[in-house]
Chains A and B, each alone.
Chain A
Amino acid sequence: MLMRQNAGHLMAFIRALVRNESLAEDVFQETLLVAWRRFDSFDRERPFGPWLRGIAHLTALAMFRKGKREIYVDSAVVEAIEVRAEALERSWMGMEHHPLETLQDCVGRLPERYRDAVEILYRGDRSVADVAAATEMGLEAAKKRLQRARHLLADCLRTKGVLS
């Protein structure tokens, strides 16, 4: 039950951390396994989510080191992700509307040119180059547009209480 409650937002945190789907799967599995083994050491007076994400962070770091992979995540970025993940956890578990529904709502509110770029990239499961080609922009311009779109979405989600 605890696993199911936390699986969604935990995976979102891990994905944000590692940005690699197969690695995220591995980190997820290992995180839950470690959490299970160390559950006795978990202070029940404290929230479960941050404890779980702490394990995920350490697991990801260990996997990076083990794989000698150059995937450096600045600690300030990790902290910022954690802040957002905490808010995401609350909304994932407690809000009337699921945060992914809210995201969809926010996508609908984007100006058309941003919305099109996002839809192509994420819904179509395409590359930035595909976005550039479809919107007849240069690659860098497409990157900028997508970046701007994500920031607008983050602002929208903050407004709706999904992110802090």
Chain B
Amino acid sequence: MNSDESRNDPNREADERIIEAMFRATHATERLDEERRIQSAMDAIRASEVAAPTVSTAPTMPAVSRRGRWWVAALGGVGSIAALVAITVLSQPSEVRAERIIARAKIAAENVDSRRFDVVIESPLNLELPDREGWVEVLSRPENHPLLRFEVSEPIDQAQAWGVDDQGGWEATPQGLVSRFRRAEWSERILGGGLDLLIDAIPAMLSRVEKGYDLVAATTRTMSPTLVATKRFTVDEKSPDRIRVEFDAETYEVSLLVLEWDRSMRGIPRDQMGGLTGPPARITFTRRATGNLEATDFQPRW
């Protein structure tokens, strides 16, 4: 855009370049672009902060492709090398972001042994039923099994609770204890295993990927670092079709978990499913904004 005349005069060429640059900065989207730019830079900085310890503790597996590295770093005993070939990570930036999120979330999980979430279970779209609401509280995990309590409190006529206490798993209604089950079964018996994503977000997410999920997004551009995984066709129908885990940008603890079922992806439109036997449309777990958990004795008190 500058002429030969300007090229021979550094000052004139510098004038032209600066003016052009200033005009660029007057574009209508520049303010948003600048925010995005800063956010990306901060993401890159955070990624660089955690990259070193993550890489240094990773097992050495030279045969694994570059795209698989972050999983190698994160697997840490919960997965297998074979699983790596089944993983789809869409882009290199996603890989870097996911690596950062996983590394930070793993560290955060080690330092937290109690958490509470509000829960909303949305009925299938074709059923005019109220959403079910409740909460779940997880305290600690002696012997690698969590002590937890999950209560559905709304609507009242559907109130129900599940939990794991010292004696094992239990299920109860307001009328009393319904059943007990082995403690090791808690993950499958309560919310179809969805709770494991709250309790051990990263190992559970990696485990899901092993069993047939693709990681399709890892973003750190919003205030909440986020991982999203979608199910491949081979996974059982009970599993959610999409899993979204958001982490607190400061602490990297799970702040939001969304499980979504969408039968239309497998050729059965959700609005044609009918009946009460199908999965809900969505379950949302939102971290409760309190640092003081209420005392709960985790007994089935009905």
Contacts and interface: CB of A to CB of B under 8 A. Distances in A.
A23 interface: no
Contact of A16 (B6, B20, B44): B20
Interface in B1-60: 1-3, 5-6, 10-27, 34, 37-38, 40-42, 44-45, 48
A84 B18 CA distance: 7
Interface in B75-128: none
9 contacts: A7-B38, A16-B20, A32-B41, A33-B48, A37-B48, A88-B18, A103-B19, A103-B26, A163-B15
Given A21-B24, A147-B16, A150-B19, A33 B37 contact: no
A8 B48 CA distance: 23
Nearest to B27: A125
Contacts of A61: none
Nearest to A121: B23
Interface residues of A, number: 49
Given A81-B17, A84-B18, 19 more contacts: A11-B21, A12-B21, A15-B24, A16-B18, A17-B17, A25-B37, A28-B37, A33-B48, A36-B48, A37-B48, A76-B10, A84-B15, A88-B22, A118-B23, A146-B1, A151-B12, A154-B16, A154-B18, A157-B19
Nearest to B45: A36
A4 interface: yes
B3 A144 contact: yes
A19 B2 CA distance: 11
Contacts of B16: 147, 150-151, 154
B18 to A, nearest CB: 5
Interface SS, B side:
helix
Interface residues of B, number: 32
Contacts of A29: 37, 40-41, 44
Contacts of B12: 151
A77 B2 CA distance: 13
B50 to A, nearest CB: 13
B45 A16 contact: no
A100 B17 contact: no
B10 A12 contact: no
Nearest to A4: B38
Interface in A132-163: 143-144, 146-147, 150-151, 153-154, 157, 163
B41 A77 contact: no
Interface of A: 3-4, 7-8, 11-17, 19, 21, 25, 28-29, 32-33, 36-37, 74, 76-77, 79-81, 83-85, 88, 99-100, 103-104, 118, 122-123, 125, 128, 143-144, 146-147, 150-151, 153-154, 157, 163
A77 B14 CA distance: 6
9 tightest CB-CB pairs across the interface, nearest first? A80-B14, A15-B21, A154-B15, A16-B17, A76-B10, A32-B41, A122-B23, A16-B21, A12-B21
A84 B3 contact: no
Contacts of B5: 147
A7 B48 CA distance: 20
Given A80-B11, A147-B6, A33 B1 contact: no
A40 B166 CA distance: 52
Contacts of A32: 41, 44-45
Contact of A7 (B15, B21, B34, B45): B34
Nearest to B15: A154
A25 to B, nearest CB: 7
Contact of B45 (A33, A83, A128, A157): A33
